Structure 1
Amino acid sequence: MDASDTELKKELSATLQARSELGTEYEPALVESFLEKVEQRLDGTLDRRVRRHLAEQQVRGARSPERASSGHFGEQYGFAIVSLILAVPLSAIGVVNAGFQGLVATWLGIVGVNAFQASRGGRPFRRRGEERRESDWED
């Protein structure tokens, strides 16, 4: 557990303590405030990972000019990054409207959509008019 995990745990504890002191009428505001802090932490982590990955790719060099220009990184990880960023406000909406069950339903949907995307093997969606290739080795 690193320092940011400890800090986040303290924030959650403080939020729960405030909820017990203030009552349920302030629950949506407290949940939203906590989720904003989680979102900021997630954004920072994702930014660091993307920068690190891009730096590693620059050091190694692109495997081929075609892949470098096609935005392969965006195709492979863009969906997951966007779904994680959208997970925070969707979770807040689920909690505010349906409580814990709404949170569970929201995350089951997020996991389901990402599992489907992962089961496709990272293959990008084909656009109309694009030919289907049997492998990436074909030109």
Structure 2
Amino acid sequence: MPEPRVPRDEAEAALHARRELGADFEPAVVDSFVDRIDAAIEARVAQEVKRAGKPAPRRKDDGHALALAIVSLGVAIPLSGLAAHEAGVAGLVVAWLGIVLVNLAHALSRLRRGD
């Protein structure tokens, strides 16, 4: 049985569409291509698990970790500038410490739940 793959022409088409559609549609094009890659990876993992005789692991990721990372970076840029301008290096350290702690708390809660 051949292994599931994302065909090269699909990758090239996604890159071409990204260039053609511009920045407004870039997130949608990238998300669509990443979904296809995820599906191919999941199919490969399922095949390997099936060969090993174990049930396929269930995917629990609902996108919250990625969303938190994106929001954290989006907030970090203006927050860093504001904190550095208003409070100097100490403000910058406090701002980044808050961002890191929020992400760390989320990661630890996922570990405790077994995600």
TM-score, normalised with respect to structure 1 = 0.41
TM-score, normalised with respect to structure 2 = 0.48
